[in-house]
Amino acid sequence: MTHDVYTLPPNLPVPQDDGAADHLLGLELPDLVLESSLGPVNVHDVDVLYVYPRTGRPDRPLLPGWDETPGARGCTPQSCAFRDAHGELQALGVRVAGLSAQPLEEQQEFAERNRIPFPVNRAVLLRGQERFNVYCSPCHGRLGNGLGMIVRRGLKRPPSYHIDRLRQVPVGYFYDVITNGFGAMPDYAMQIAPRDRWSVAAYIRVLQYSQDDSINDVPAEMRAELPSPNAPAAQGPKQ
């Protein structure tokens, strides 16, 4: 059973403001740390905390009566709208988090499924590869093993992408490291546009697949383009 969670059916009932939340105006959010698809988040630190009941999954039927409940349907389009405005909000220094009653595992599924806002196809991966080789490989190496040119000249060595911890992070994590930097690594938000960040993130996942049994998950025509695991460990970008 599949259904479209991304578009709203016509004639949804409109919620009415009964004023029950009026007293919240001007109040501060408490110091409260919650798990999220990107690790723990303190709600006190965000500027926009939007609350929604639950996001649907295309592979599961809607709850009975969902569309008839005012305000219930629309969580996925709402979250996607925040996602699409993410770069703009971030440029303004606005931090956004979404809060729903779903278990973390479902939210991770949702985040992973939606965070790459376009189909991952060969063109996207090749673009990701090209950007990766320009911006990331000098330190991370073409294979993502952390042995790039600059590192060999004495800069701090980044972790290999092929360690278990980084294999297990959602693709969105790479997007966030590019956007915000990580530890000793600067961010690349100015150099790499949001769409290209997703391409690079997707390409990193492919690099990870290429180094283990999941190589079969990589589209055949992309496999030929990947660096060979036996290639010299460190190569600078082609200039």
For ligand HEC, the binding residues (CB under 6 A) are 135-136, 138-140, 150, 155-156, 158-159, 174, 177-178, 182-185, 188, 192, 200
- CA distance linking residue 7 with residue 30, whole number of Å: 34
Q: Which residue has the CB atom at the shortest distance from ligand HEC? A: 183
Read off the DSSP letter of residue 202.
H
CA 119 to chain centre: 14
Backbone φ and ψ for 99, nearest 5 degrees, come out as -130, 125
- CA distance linking residue 83 with residue 34, whole number of Å: 20
Read off the DSSP letter of residue 165.
H
Provide the 10 A C-beta neighbour count for residue 150: 17
**Of 5 and 192, CB closest to ligand HEC:** 192
Minimum distance from residue 112 beta carbon to ligand HEC (Å): 16
Minimum distance from residue 228 beta carbon to ligand HEC (Å): 21
Minimum distance from residue 221 beta carbon to ligand HEC (Å): 23
**Of 66 and 182, CB closest to ligand HEC:** 182
- Three-state DSSP class for 39? strand
**Of 12 and 150, CB closest to ligand HEC:** 150
**Of 159 and 194, CB closest to ligand HEC:** 159
Minimum distance from residue 175 beta carbon to ligand HEC (Å): 9
**Of 56 and 132, CB closest to ligand HEC:** 132
Q: CA 227, 228, 229, 233 torsion: positive or negative?
A: negative
Minimum distance from residue 102 beta carbon to ligand HEC (Å): 25
The token pair that represents 239 in the structure block: 């200039």
